[in-house]
Structure 1
């Protein structure tokens, strides 16, 4: 079974429960949170670089002319597939406003490239509703099924853009897995067995950018 359908087509639902307990796809992420001059969050810019094994599987799936590489039209097809398939997962983007989770609007396009044996995706999403710079805001990227590991290699990969955000306090939070498990053992166990294909509980483990204005 190819890795890409498991990631973007939701067929991870067919995988054994045990296989979903840890990631099988790995990606390095970068997230830029952008504020406009009106004092609202205008967009979130994502860059994802996938591991070589997964990237190679994508070439196998989308190399229609069998030339061993992804041509521009094939890269565009990858982007189109991801654009449609990740909508139900909110494009792996998590936003909260004083603890309330917000959806993101569907991006216009997901741009895809292939360099040095790795698949890259670039796209921008916007909050699904007006999001003023007020209170406690959080931003992150994670796969709710935990099949893909979206990792920020350094704190500098979670950044703010815009003068209005300079007036806010912001910090990168990297939860300690042992501490999360200890504090939420009962609820995590119940959530997993009730819905092992993915729950909001997985965001407890995700690296995030916290902004307080």
Structure 2
């Protein structure tokens, strides 16, 4: 468990290093490079080395780390290695679909890893300084990946705005992020259809959309032997393997409604969206479908 936690911690730590060490185009290039070889980072097996990398801040440190990874790594590794339960809420204002509020609840291993970086007093609560550290050094970086959120409106992919109202706290010992993603889709006399899906295109992290009001996915990701393995070759069948091993029911899920919904006719469902297929085209995500128009 300690080793696996350190593996995930390395991912978080390198993201911190990107924020502190780099800027401009070089930052973007190296972040993209990092995403494509994330599995390779699991070959660095010691938390001491990770701590050394994080404390030695600077672009040179990152380049040396990437070089050592390429020398040591011979293959990628099975995914996923992080599991996040996601709750979606469609928020309506006087004009239409204002946006989507999200709640992420992370697996215990990822929770411990994140707390190891920002939670110094170990009192089981996050203070304002720790929440701000999460916002600036972790969550804000996700804007470059649209917060693992993919939205189609009337069949067209949308460029998302920056998230708002970020908060973080611990719930039953698990790290929770909450935030709001603006969409600002004005309702008309005809139906608009918005499809909202949560996924990481690399499948390093499995995001599972839970049924509103439920207590989560009801699975233990560690039931998949590869979740904690550092020597399993990746393949396009990783999603099906993970789903079968842990008993993940991807027919679940949904989206709740909030705000001035009485002004509109609103219909919601969960549907697979083939045009959003990812991870070698092998995973077709289930998206929350929101159809709405003026009354």
For the aligned pair, the TM-score class normalised by the smaller chain equals 0.7 to 0.9
Residues 16-95 of structure 1 mapped to structure 2, 5 A cutoff: 16=40, 18-19=76-77, 22-38=79-95, 40-63=96-119, 65=120, 67=122, 69=124, 71-72=126-127, 73-95=129-151
Distance, in Å, in 2 between the alignment partners of 1:118 and 1:67 is 13
* Equivalent residues of 1:89, 1:144 under 8 A apart: no
Residues 1:140 and 2:189 are matched in the alignment: no
Contact 2:85 2:210 in 1 (8 A): yes
Measure how far apart 1:130 and its partner are: 4.1
Displacement of 1:18 in angstroms is 3.2
- Structure 1 or 2, whichever has the larger Rg, is 2
Instruction: Give the match for residue 180 of structure 2.
Output: 124
Task: Specify the SS of the correspondent of 2:138.
Answer: helix
CA contact (8 A) 1:97 1:137 kept: yes
In the superposition, relative to structure 1, how do residues 22 and 126 fare at CA in structure 2: closer, same or farther (>3 Å)? same
Measure how far apart 1:42 and its partner are.
0.5
Partner-residue secondary structure (3-state), 2:134: helix
**Which stretch shows the higher mean deviation, 7-16 or 141-150?**
7-16
Q: Give the TM-score normalised by structure 2.
A: 0.55
Q: What does residue 255 of structure 2 align with?
A: 158
The Cα of 1:159 is off from its aligned counterpart by 1.8
Decide which moves more: 25-34 or 98-107: 98-107
Deviations 1:130-161 (A, max 9, x none): 45463322112211221111112325652233
Distance 1:37 1:6, change over 3 A: same
Contact kept, 8 Å, 1:80 with 1:109, in 2: the verdict is no
Match of 2:286 in 1: 207
Q: 1:157 to 1:84 in 2, by over 3 A?
A: same
How many Å separate the matches in 1 of 2:9 and 2:177? 13
Residue 102 of structure 1: aligned partner: 158
The alpha-carbon distance between structure 1 residues 71 and 139, as it changes in their structure 2 partners (threshold 3 A), is closer
> Are the aligned partners of 2:254 and 2:288 in contact in 1 as well (CA < 8 Å)?
no
SS for the counterpart of 1:146 is coil
Q: Output the CA distance in 2 between the equivalents of 1:206 and 1:158.
A: 15
Deviation sequence 1:108-129 (CA, Å, 0-9, x none): 34211123221000111102x6
Equivalence for 1:196: none
Count of matched residue positions in the alignment of Structure 1 and Structure 2: 189
For structure 2, the 5+ residue unaligned runs are 1-5, 16-30, 41-74, 212-251
Q: Distance in 1 between matches of 2:122 and 2:88?
A: 33
3-state SS in 1 of match to 2:202: coil
For residues 12 and 117 of structure 1, the distance between their equivalents in structure 2, rounded to whole angstroms, comes to 28
